[in-house]
């Protein structure tokens, strides 16, 4: 009997947990009972697929959980938590590795977060990705996001009647570490956060569960405080780059429309990826007499980007702060650029930093969140003719040239291809004007339809970025750049 039980899914998972190093061989009975407490006592033979998936099905069969999106997710993460060391042990190992090499520390931590299913590798592989060069010569990265899990219908229903004070306050709070989860709130049993000091305050470093690029990570303030872009932001970005020289780091803007979706909690994003904007050349070099240690220029990019480069981080921060302060109060009515007032400001930046050896490279992308009757979602926001592809805010990742497009496009664009090939189709009405315009200037065949689709979607994203740029790439926009530079 003992030999046959070795083939049981509970028994095998206990062996896997012990092999992970989270427990010792002497702990085997303890671990077995931990698993039984989650899925029920009776073991069954191992079948195909991940052991955790089999354990979730076993728990449903035993009546230990309901067969729902929420219960499945919670149990999945509780089971993976068994093979995840405690936060204190994870932090101790991280900084022990860090003393040898920052990259060794992040490599091991990232490996842990993929092996314990906090980073949803299998789900991320579902995303559609491609890279295309567009008319202005830049390459853009396009992703259709298919990795986010479906919403639990019960959670949607419960949220309509839920007025309780929330714990944790938001998805970025430190209190998420180890949180079981609930209807409408993600499970985080297997979540771990590295503690570090940034700008004299406690911060956390974690990976993103549904990563948009390689080693997509988040730096978050320990306190639940709203996002704010100022000189301290640049100081913080420098310190993070000094700590993690192999990662870029950047912040979403701190205003609605031009900012990200999490303005209530101060955080930055980073990772090991070279974005298209980072490779874009300088189209006009600039010099600032008070900052001879800093090279500067306007970047040849659809959005309005000033790039500063220096190994003197104090000079870099001081010049960057001067540019941000100037932009915050700068208006140019001829281009519909309006700074607003101190109580109702409309200007901020999306700041992004990466390293090239000992040189720190800071991109400051100018943002304006004004609206008009003609552009109710934002003057410098994707305009209505592009909404069939992208209507959502243009955040940090997209500013740098990587589109995060909605999952609906997978099926909708398949119908566009059928339309182009004159096959029976159910093309959405909002795609029809674009599809007809493309068809009028392209010869589309079964052999090239996929390439045409990718090229045209990439061009729409380029147009989206151009809409979000405050100084357009035309004569008026170039003249506007020069007026702003003179103000600096």
DSSP string, 292-322: TT-EEEEESSSS-EEEEEES-HHHHHHHHHH
Backbone angles phi, psi at 292, to 5 degrees: -65, -20
- 129 pLDDT above the threshold of 60: yes
Angle between helices 408-420 and 432-441 (to 10 degrees): 40
* pLDDT at res. 157: 61
Half-sphere exposure of 329 (CA within 13 A, CB side): 7
For residue 16, give both structure tokens: 């896997």
470 has a pLDDT exceeding 70:
yes
Q: What is the mean pLDDT of residues 454-479?
A: 97
Buried b (16+ CB within 10 A) or exposed e, 381-416: bbbeebebbbeebbbbbbbbbbbbbebebeebbebb
Look at residue 452 and tell me whether its pLDDT is greater than 80: yes
CA atoms within 13 A on the CB side of 193: 23
Instruction: Point out which residues pair with 185 in neighbouring strands.
Output: 182
Residue 127's contacts (CB-CB under 8 Å, 6 or more residues apart) are 143, 144, 145, 146, 147
With residue 112 as reference, give the H or E element that holds it. helix 102-115
Asked whether residue 163 carries a pLDDT value surpassing 70, the answer given is no
Which backbone phi and psi does 238 adopt, to 5 degrees?
-60, -45
User: 5 pLDDT band (50/70/90 cuts)?
Assistant: very low
pLDDT-based confidence at 343, cuts 50/70/90? confident
Question: Which parts of 212-346 are beta strand (E)?
Answer: 217-221, 248-250, 267-271, 282-286, 295-299, 305-310
Instruction: Identify the band that residue 153 occupies on the pLDDT scale cut at 50, 70 and 90.
Output: low
Both tokens assigned to 474:
């035309």
| Residue-by-residue DSSP string for 392-440 | S---HHHHTTEEEE-THHHHHHHHHHHHHTT-S----GGGHHHHHHHHH
pLDDT for 116 equals 97
Phi, psi of 178 (to 5 degrees): 85, 0
Q: In what helix (H) or strand (E) does residue 198 lie, and over which residues does it extend?
A: strand 194-198
Structure tokens at 306: 């000033």
What pLDDT, on a 0 to 100 scale, did the predictor assign at position 410?
A: 97
pTM: predicted TM-score of the whole model, two decimal places: 0.94
What residues contact residue 206 under an 8 Å CB cut-off, 6+ apart?
A: 113, 191, 192, 193, 194, 217, 218, 220
* Structural domains of the chain sorted by starting position, each given as residue range(s) with its CATH number in brackets: 2-65 (no CATH), 92-119 (no CATH), 123-402+476-487 (3.30.428)
Residue 92 has what DSSP assignment?
H
Beta carbons of 430 and 388 less than 8 angstroms apart: yes
């Amino acid at each position: 009997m003992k030999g046959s039980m070795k083939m049981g899914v509970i028994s095998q998972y206990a062996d896997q947990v012990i092999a992970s190093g989270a427990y010792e061989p002497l702990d085997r009975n303890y671990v077995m009972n931990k698993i039984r407490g989650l899925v029920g006592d009776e073991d069954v033979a191992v079948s195909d697929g991940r052991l955790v998936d089999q354990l979730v099905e076993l728990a449903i069969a035993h009546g230990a959980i309901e067969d729902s999106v929420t219960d499945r997710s919670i149990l999945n993460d509780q089971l993976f938590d068994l093979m995840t060391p405690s936060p204190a042990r994870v932090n101790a190992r991280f900084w022990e590795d860090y003393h040898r090499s920052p990259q060794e520390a992040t490599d091991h931590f990232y490996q842990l977060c993929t092996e314990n299913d906090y980073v949803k590798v299998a789900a991320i592989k579902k995303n559609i990705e491609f890279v295309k060069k567009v008319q202005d010569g830049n390459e853009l990265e396009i992703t259709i996001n298919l990795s986010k899990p479906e919403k639990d219908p019960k959670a949607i229903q419960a949220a309509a009647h839920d007025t309780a004070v929330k714990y944790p306050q938001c998805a970025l709070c430190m209190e998420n570490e180890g949180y079981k989860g609930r209807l409408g709130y993600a499970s985080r049993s297997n979540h771990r956060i590295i503690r570090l000091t940034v700008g004299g305050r406690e911060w956390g470093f974690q990976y993103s569960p549904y990563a948009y690029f390689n080693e997509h990570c988040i730096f978050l303030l320990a306190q639940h405080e709203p996002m704010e872009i100022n000189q301290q932001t640049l100081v913080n970005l420098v310190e993070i780059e000094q700590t993690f020289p192999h990662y870029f780091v950047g912040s979403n803007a701190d205003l609605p429309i031009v900012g990200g979706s999490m303005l209530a909690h101060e955080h930055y994003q980073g990772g090991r990826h070279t974005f298209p904007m980072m490779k874009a050349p300088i189209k006009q070099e600039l010099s600032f007499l008070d900052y001879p240690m800093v090279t500067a220029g306007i970047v040849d990019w659809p959005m309005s980007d000033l790039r500063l480069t220096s190994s003197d981080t104090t000079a870099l921060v001081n010049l960057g702060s001067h540019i941000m302060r100037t932009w915050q109060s700068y208006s140019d009515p001829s281009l519909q650029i309006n700074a607003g007032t101190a109580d109702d400001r409309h200007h901020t930046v999306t700041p992004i930093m990466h390293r090239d050896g000992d040189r720190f490279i800071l991109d400051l992308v100018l943002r304006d969140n004004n609206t008009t009757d003609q552009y109710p979602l934002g003057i410098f926001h994707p305009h209505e003719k592009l909404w069939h592809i992208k209507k959502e805010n243009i955040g940090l990742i997209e500013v740098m040239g990587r589109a995060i497009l909605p999952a609906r496009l997978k099926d909708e664009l398949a119908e566009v291809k059928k339309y182009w090939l004159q096959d029976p189709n159910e093309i959405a009405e909002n795609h029809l004007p674009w599809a007809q315009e493309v068809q009028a200037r392209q010869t589309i065949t079964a052999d090239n339809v996929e390439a045409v689709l990718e090229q045209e979607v990439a061009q729409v994203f380029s147009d989206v970025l151009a809409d979000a740029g405050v100084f357009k790439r035309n004569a008026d926009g170039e003249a506007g750049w020069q007026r702003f530079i003179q103000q600096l």
